[in-house]
Structure 1
Amino acid sequence: MSQPSPDGGYPAMPATAYAVLGLLSFGPEVTGYDLRKWAMNMRFFYWSPAQSQIYGELRRLREHGFVHEHTEPQPGRPDKRLYKITEAGVDAFRDWLDHAEVGPPALKHSVALRLFFGHQADPNRLRETLRDYVTWTKGQLAELTDLRGRLEPDLPYPAMVAAWGESYFKAEIAAAKAAIAGLDSHVGAGAPTLRARTASRRRSGRGPRRSP
């Protein structure tokens, strides 16, 4: 069982392990499947792990003494495994909340990446991609707004994060619409893309321009 080091430190663990501890800190003894269902609502804020990932983190936490596991027999079915956070787990989780470094979020925005390379794209297809993203984001916003309504008032802190997420999605919608307007302005000004210029050169038989 892991114990705090003399300087108050705890074993190095990924943020996902602490997310599992956090879900368990709400109190009830739960199964890994229950955690997976709860974690699906966290996809708006942080991560949506696979079932195998949750069980992997539960094993890690159990080895450190941060989670207690016991089984309940089920006639004709596999035993049910139930998990509960320990006092050591609560201490480790609070230490992480108080002392974890503040770092930038990991942003992997595939639509923004495609826009970044728009000089090679078909402008009409790029516009469709941005509009599709606006539609998808509006759907996520509607789901999150519904979730926040169900979180309030019993779970005020998750509700605050849900409100944060709503602001994020609204900003994404505004940014995507601004990008569409910028694309329309750029294409409307008659600026050809590299893709269009390359196609024109090929039709003229000159071939693509060589890089210097």
Structure 2
Amino acid sequence: MTSSQKPKKQDLPPTAWAVLGLLSFPGERTGYELKKWADSSLRFFYWSPAISQIYAELRRLEELGYAASERSGPEEARAKRRYAITDAGRQALAGWAADTEDAGPPVLKHGLLLRVWLGHLAEPERLRAMVSEHRERTLAELAAVREAMEQAADVREWAFPVLALRWSERQHLAELELAEALLSDITVLEASATHPAAAGTGEAGAAGGPGQGDGDAPTAG
């Protein structure tokens, strides 16, 4: 097949591909079941769509012929609808998964570090408390990742999701190390700020600002 004969790649948001990816594993699932699985897998290394997003994408995928559904009970308003991927959906998903152009670099949006960056407006004790709270949340997330790994370990079809969860386990362990290092950095910075010599240096630096120039931003050395 030449490039002109190849089907046009469907321009879908990442949420749609994520939902279709959940459907690519064996079995049919309801929107609620897809949400539960996203909460126990996707959220550890990407994000978990809201249930409203999942149902919106399921409708979109059905319109495109990438997914199909049927009611699991009588034709009633509250009857559960179960979804499955179609052959066309599996082919489109495989093409998207193999496309490295759209993968892009990871985007880090660390709320805690944004507040540390503004640490000159906060008390060091409050910063330490925020880092400690972050460390506790990370420990809880690490436990959840390991629980998900245990549940998926014996399912042959979930071998690759386990690899992603294992990566997430390592990432959470690294986050714990970074939190400990950040606590030490805050303590050192607080001690240097109260040292007479350091205080004098700070006053001298304050005249010129962080960039030592009018409106200059800090530059990497």
Q: TM-score range by the shorter chain?
A: 0.7 to 0.9
Q: Decide which moves more: 151-160 or 180-189.
A: 151-160
Residues 92 and 175 (structure 1), Cα distance of their counterparts in 2 relative to 1, 3 Å cut: same
Moved over 4 A (4+): none
Residues 153 and 5 (structure 1), Cα distance of their counterparts in 2 relative to 1, 3 Å cut: farther
Judge conservation of contact 1:24–1:84 (CA < 8 Å) in 2: yes
Structure 1 vs Structure 2 CA RMSD:
2.2
Partner of 1:87: 87
**Counterpart residue type for residue 115 of structure 1:** V
Return the TM-score normalized by structure 2.
0.80
Structure-to-structure mapping, 1:45-194, within 5 angstroms? 45-74=45-74, 78-101=78-101, 102-154=103-155, 155-191=158-194
- Partners of 2:75 and 2:96 in 1: CA distance: 40
Work out the percentage of aligned pairs sharing the same amino acid: 39
- Partners of 2:154 and 2:73 in 1: CA distance: 36
- Partners of 1:150 and 1:72 in 2: CA distance: 26
Give ranges in structure 1 of 5+ residues lacking alignment.
Answer: 193-208
Helix, strand or coil at the partner of 2:46: coil
Q: Decide which moves more: 100-109 or 134-143.
A: 100-109
**Counterpart residue type for residue 111 of structure 1:** L
Partner of 2:36: 37
Q: Decide which moves more: 183-192 or 73-82.
A: 73-82
Judge conservation of contact 1:74–1:80 (CA < 8 Å) in 2: no
Judge conservation of contact 1:141–1:169 (CA < 8 Å) in 2: yes
- Partners of 1:84 and 1:5 in 2: CA distance: 30
- Give a deviation string over 1:27-67, Cα, whole Å, max 9, x none: 21111111111111121121111111001100111111100
Judge conservation of contact 1:148–1:163 (CA < 8 Å) in 2: yes
Judge conservation of contact 1:20–1:54 (CA < 8 Å) in 2: yes
**Counterpart residue type for residue 128 of structure 1:** A
Give ranges in structure 2 of 5+ residues lacking alignment.
Answer: 196-206, 215-221
Partner of 1:6: 5
- Partners of 2:182 and 2:143 in 1: CA distance: 22
- Give a deviation string over 1:140-198, Cα, whole Å, max 9, x none: 11111121122113221111111100111111111111111011011012359xxxxxx
- Give a deviation string over 1:113-166, Cα, whole Å, max 9, x none: 101111111110001100111111011111111211221132211111111001
